[in-house]
Amino acid sequence: MEAIIAQAIKDTAASRKTSVPWNLDEPFPQSYYDFDGSASSWVSKKPSANTAATPNNGDDTEITNIALYTWNIDFMLPFPEARMRPALAHLDELIRRLPPTTAPVIFLQECTSSDLTTIAATPWVRERFHLSDINTANWATAHYGTTTLVDVRLPVTAAFRVHYSKTRMDRDALFVDVTLGSGGATVRLCNTHLESLALEPPFRPAQMQLVARYMRGGDGKVVDVALAAGDFNSIQPFDRTLHEDNGLKDAFLEVGGREDSEEGYTWGQQAATRLREQFGCSRMDKVYFWEGEGARVRVRVVRFERFGGDVVVEGEEEGRRIVELGFEKGWVTDHLGVMVVVEVENLKGKGVERL
């Protein structure tokens, strides 16, 4: 496993881009993509506030909730296609259980260029989702990055990345704004992979400060509700209070979850056995949220649960090879995913009008 990690670090460094169009710590706008069935291709779209009132698929079902799924798919393991396909099949199974009034959003971290190809070729993704990326153009390295899938019933009004200046590992925050309900609430969605390892000086506090700034509309846009999620690599004491330090709420704690409890752990159960014995289990993957000033809207966490346990790679030989790397099974990734269903309520006017 050590050889795999060393090679991944080497490959990432080799694929780091030396010339980029963005400024660090500042929003860099990007397009998103919809699948055009008649042309059998993904088509680039520019986010626009003018699309807010009319979802692009003509579905008039009123969306009241968002189901946010976040999952780190380990980029260091071999057989990316044979791991991403069952991971996507598992997500499809989960999403099919949602009621029509709940719109799914998927955050993925540690995607490779191969993963983007697999995602874009998946029929249910083509039918039901906007994609933030179909290539690595907006990543700092061509080796791995984040990508977001948004239910096509949620109009996209903005999309941008903030590439961190304080990072050793080419990390960024991917933001997508959508509108929800007849009240037109702006919900800002942030997919981020915070810095790994317990290195000095630590960079996760500075990264989360940037996330919180733009969750609040630091780009000048009015934001009603913001959700940030991903692999937060929470492994040190200061990680426990990053939400409080930045005026955010932790969805797991809001539903009564407790730190250092088995039901919160998302890493370790499916890690290489030696690493689990060395580091134990931890709650690396989290969901934070923020409600806008003035109490125009309110967020209520309806459900919180983990997913992705015991999802294994396609193929007996592929599974055997992963076990040989030190894993108990041929798991597709070393992380469990986290799913949160949130309800957004509009408090403007008399009483509470559900969006």
User: Considering the domain boundaries, does residue 28 fall inside one?
Assistant: no
Identify whether the C-beta of residue 47 lies closer than 8 Å to the C-beta of residue 159: yes
CATH code where residue 157 lies: 3.60.10.10
29 is a domain residue: no
pLDDT tens digits, one per residue of 17-68: 999 999 999 999 999 999 999 999 999 999 987 765 444 455 677 899 999 9
74 within domain boundaries = yes
Cα–Cα distance between 334 and 76 in angstroms, integer? 10
What is the average pLDDT across 304-329?
Answer: 98
Instruction: List b or e across 128-140, with b for residues whose CB sees 16 or more CB atoms inside 10 angstroms.
Output: bbbbbbbebebbb
The dihedral sign for the CA sequence 164, 199, 114, 69:
negative
Tokens matching residue 265: 């752990």
Q: Is residue 60 part of a domain?
A: yes
Residue 23 lies in a domain: no
Structural domains counted in the chain = 1
Would you say residue 27 lies in a domain?
Answer: no
Q: Is residue 287 part of a domain?
A: yes
Angle between helical axes of 80-95 and 113-120 (0-180°, round to 10): 40
Helices then strands, each counted (H, E), the chain: 9, 16
Tokens read off for 180:
């929800």
- Residue 26 placed within a domain: no
Q: Tell me the average pLDDT of the chain.
A: 93
In the chain, what is the straight-line distance between the N-terminal and C-terminal CA atoms, in Å?
A: 48
CA distance 224 to 346: 10
User: Cβ–Cβ contacts within 10 Å for residue 3, how many?
Assistant: 8
pLDDT value of residue 293: 73
Residue 235 sits in which domain range?
A: 2-17+35-354
pLDDT digits (tens, 9 = 90+) for 224-236: 999 999 999 999 9
